Each structure stands twice: as C-alpha cells, then as structure tokens.
Structure 1
C-alpha cells in the first residue's frame, strides 16, 4: 500500500468524525442549517474563541475563502495576499469570480508570510485613485503554504495596518489547527483579538471528510453572507452532515489531538532529513508541511518507491513537498527515511 506524504487531503476520515456522521444519519432533521447540530457547532465555536460570532459550514476551502473575501471586497477592490497563497495559485480564479472582478495583489515576504512594510507600500501605491483598484481586503494564510506559522504579534501588526487603512483582514485557516498546535496559544490570540474579521476554519485537511466553517468576527457582514452562500450553491439542504463533522472535530479539542500528531510527525521527518548528507530543509517546519531539497540519488530512489510525495513540474533543483497527516505514524516516517537515506 502506498505511504502518503503527497497531501493531507489524501488522508482518510478520522474515526470520531466518521462515527459522528453515522450518528447524524439516524432519522430526520430540519434542513438548510436549522438542525440542532448546526446550532451546536456555532455555540462550540463561540466557546472556543470566547466571543460572539457567526459560523457557516461549507464543503470546501475554496468556498470558505472566496465567499468570506467577497463579503468585504467590491468588484473594484484589491485583495492583498502572499504570492504563494492558495487563493492566488490554486483556486482557478474563484476569488475574482465571486467578488465580481476584484484584483488579487501579491505581496512578498519570507517563508510564505506577507511582509508588513511591503504590504503598506502596496496599499498606498494606488489607494484613492479611480484609476486603480480600491484596497479592500488583506488575506493571510495560517499556517502558510510553506509550513511556517504567523506569531500573534505578526498578525497584530498586519491587523493594525488593516484598521489604519480601512481594510478587512481575512485568514485562510485550512491548517488553522496545525498553527494552534504549534503556537499553543488561545485561538482568539491569532484571530479577533489581533484584527481578523473573517476566518476560514479548516477541518478537511485535519481529519474531516469535507467541511470548513466561515467564521465571522465582524458581525455586520454575517447576514449578507447567508445570501452569498445560497447564491453560490453552498447552502446544503442536509446541512447536518457538514455540521456533524465539525461537531465531532470541536468536541474535547479533537482538532488539537489530530493536528498535534501531524505536526509531531513532520518534526520527526524534518530531523531525519537534516541528517542526510546533501539534503536541506527549505523553510521553518512549524506545522505539517516540509519543503526539502534532496540529492539526486535520493530522488531516484523515491521515484521508484511506494512513497507518495509532491514535486512541482518547474522544481528542477531537487525540491519536493512532504505533508504529514493526522494518521501519519512513526513507521511511515521511518519508511520514507529508509528510502531517501
């Protein structure tokens, strides 16, 4: 059987989440989010973040991101993001489509994080002129596509900048649980307390079958979002099957248990790679993603093994991406290290 390091999306459903789906399948329940599970999920998220909020389950990370962003950006808006951000590379123009034409403006920074100084320069460059798109939203990814994690003070600096210029701050939290497991801080410390208006609260990459929650800390936009979700075909009639996943995910911090294993396995794998002559780790390993440059001999062995991994077509310097998951084991790590050592 192949050993998966290609993507956390390839991992199976975590047992408690699968069991929750089976329980939700007993009998009838009100439709379109009027069921008890959906209300319970919102209450659990309020408890988790220790604030009032609105939360809306959707089926995909792309839907969570673009519907959240479109709630704050007009068609003539500018959405600032890192050049490696998922919304700029892997969402097929969905942000532009759902905002009605807003422009994504990449802002560089080390290790997948937006540089605040470069961000302010980009915001000021065309702001106020009808000949340019209007600065509207800043989107950050936590944990980043490189596997690094924003610290609370880093998000706060961007949050202050957003408030200064009247911009919304959106967080792509597809791997939010991995970031929290690494930081070991309160969820509020990297969201609403530091200026985040809307969060894509990810679960699919961390053991769910397929669900994310769009969490609004800025309550003004929540009512409008209900219409956006319906119009985009993401208001599920049988919403309880999405909410059942989130309910189990949030119960007794199951999300943390799952993410902690993924992070711990990534750290173990990174330590092993560092011991291979000629191998290097490209970015800080702070979540469950590792980018590594391997010697050609190691790549050749990997190519004929049963190890699944990701290598971009334009990466010709030996760089690969390895992703650990909630169910990655020490035996999986050892199997990979034995192949490339």
Structure 2
C-alpha cells in the first residue's frame, strides 16, 4: 500500500524492454544515434507538428533549462506559490537562468488566474528597478492534482503574450492530464499558446527521462549549449531516448496514465464513504488530498500504509491532510486494502 509518490515504483515493462534492445548494439554518442532520432520523431508525432525536443534526466533540469531559454537573468518567472519550481527545485531555475526571480501568483484550485498574472505584471512595471516579467509557468496537472482546461490555458497564454511573456508548462504529469481530459496533447499545449514544455516520462514509467519540447524552434537557439553546460547531455544518450520510445510507441504512456487515474478515482470513491474523511480538492488526475482524523492517520501508518502527511489549512483540530498518489504500477488490491483499512478504522472508533 505505497501511495507516497508516482516516483516510488521502477520502470514499466515496455521501458525495460526498450532499454534491453537499445543495449544490444553499438551506437553513435551524444544523441547522434537512431534511438534519439526515433524518440524525437515520436515526440513530434505526439504533438502533431515538428518540434525541437531535447532529452534530459530530471524534471528539475527540464524545468530550469526550459525557463533559461525564455527568461533573462534580470527577468521574472510568474508561477503558482505551490509549483514545483517554487518549492522543490533548490533554486535550480534561478541558477540556470543566471539569476531570474520566481514571483508567486495566487490562484484557486492549484491554478493561477489571468487576473493574478495581470496584477503581478503591473506590479513589476518599474524599470529598471524591478525585475522584468518575462515568463509564466503553468503546471499540468497541478500540484494538487487538478487540471487546467484548454480555455484556461488559452486565456493565460493570450494575456502573457500580450505583455511579451513566454509560456512554460511543467508537464511532469502531462500524461495524466491528457488521459483525464481525453484531448490530444496539442489541444492543451501549443494550440492554446504554450511555448515550451517540460514533458515528463519519469513519473509515468521511465527510470529517469524527461524532454524539453520547444514548439517554436527559434526559442531553442543555443539550447544545445545550455543542456551541455548543465551536465544533461549524455554520451550514451540513446538510453534516455529508449525510455521515451518505450513509452511513446503504441501509446503506452497514455495507458499507464489512464491506469494511474483510474486507481486514484477508485481510491477517492472508496474514501468518500468513510466517516470522518473528506477530500480537500477535486480528484481529476492521479493525486488526492484527503483530510482524515489524526487517530485514523496513525492507525493507517501502523498498518503499513505509506503516504505523506501534507500541510494544509483546511484540516481542523484533530485532523491531518495526507497526500495519496497512484501510478502505472498501483494495484487495485492495494487500493481496496487501503479503503478497507480506513473503513475498519472509522467503524472501530479510531475516526
């Protein structure tokens, strides 16, 4: 019953098979191999247009390098206060942009709103004393598992572009968003104004692989140097590409995401029926944030359930908020066991 993260599991079988096939032959180094070429072709096919795609190993690198291409050292990145770039990347965006500032923009449901962006841009309009608003970063799906609808992204992009800002999307869980919305990836990225995407594979069944995807090739000028200087150009880059190939061929990435989403929905439905348990936000992808009695929390952990206690203002006295994340490898039996354990704890008085 491990719901700590979608990072806790290893690689899916199709990725491991691709790695084994990739390992069978000698190939050119530094991305000049057939696997990298194939991965780049597949990424363009996913987004229904020619893109510039660059493989890296971590989500932090993908985000920070993406932002470095669209944000100058004296610039500002507007983002949600709970975004990964703001709270979980140890200053990597500031480092790789050469000193750009991350500026939080309040919103609702884990999402930033056009009004907040407009107010922040106006507040920064004091050249040369303020940093220059240069980019907006959106997270899809968000850090609380909610989803930006295409119209919401389009409105934010139109506003950003109207002020000369570029739009970055942190798509560490883009697969879950695509699967949940039932839309083509293009419909929630470049067609609604996203300029550069951090396309996540690791949380969806890869070992360690992400892609920086530029929808405007002009923005990728000199990116080969940025990636190399940051230490993310692998000499054996085909092993990054093989992971992407294993996921993108035959739409494995979407099948994995659909399974993760389905397990989250099943978990949410089960917990809704447990007395004393409530959900702090809608469950739209593969994360859920229940608020539960502290006694039930201690009982679940004593029984071996693995998850994170989460900070949240919605929890009242004697309650805690927890985060549960499902993945491509989450077993239905574990979901049902967790719900059963929660139900037993509530009925026995622990709740």
Name the TM-score class by shorter chain.
Answer: over 0.9
Rounded to whole Å, the distance in 2 between the matches of 1:13 and 1:43 is 22
Rounded to whole Å, the distance in 2 between the matches of 1:312 and 1:149 is 20
1:164 pairs with 2:166 = no
Unpaired stretches in structure 2, ≥5 consecutive residues = 344-351
1:318 pairs with 2:305 = no
What displacement does 1:86 show? 0.1
| Local SS of the residue matching 2:289 | strand
Pairing 1:148-159 to 2, within 5 Å after superposition = 148-159=146-157
What displacement does 1:312 show? 3.6
Unpaired stretches in structure 1, ≥5 consecutive residues = none
Quick one: which of 328, 335, 341 aligns to 2:330?
328
TM-score, normalised to structure 2, is: 0.95
| Higher mean C-alpha displacement, 83-92 vs 47-56 | 47-56
Rounded to whole Å, the distance in 2 between the matches of 1:239 and 1:140 is 28
Quick one: which of 92, 95, 104 aligns to 1:94?
92
Pairing 1:48-63 to 2, within 5 Å after superposition = 48-63=46-61
TM-score, normalised to structure 1, is: 0.97
Quick one: which of 195, 206, 224 aligns to 1:197?
195
What displacement does 1:296 show? 2.4
Checking the alignment, whether the CA contact within 8 Å between 2:68 and 2:97 is kept in structure 1 is yes
Rounded to whole Å, the distance in 1 between the matches of 2:332 and 2:232 is 38
Quick one: which of 292, 298, 302 aligns to 2:296?
298
Quick one: which of 24, 30, 33 aligns to 1:32?
30
Rounded to whole Å, the distance in 2 between the matches of 1:178 and 1:75 is 33
What displacement does 1:297 show? 2.7
Pairing 1:1-341 to 2, within 5 Å after superposition = 3-312=1-310, 317-341=319-343
Checking the alignment, whether the CA contact within 8 Å between 1:309 and 1:320 is kept in structure 2 is yes
| Local SS of the residue matching 2:112 | coil
| Local SS of the residue matching 2:30 | coil
Checking the alignment, whether the CA contact within 8 Å between 1:298 and 1:339 is kept in structure 2 is no
What displacement does 1:199 show? 0.3
What displacement does 1:51 show? 1.0
Checking the alignment, whether the CA contact within 8 Å between 2:311 and 2:321 is kept in structure 1 is no
| Local SS of the residue matching 2:199 | strand
Rounded to whole Å, the distance in 2 between the matches of 1:239 and 1:134 is 36
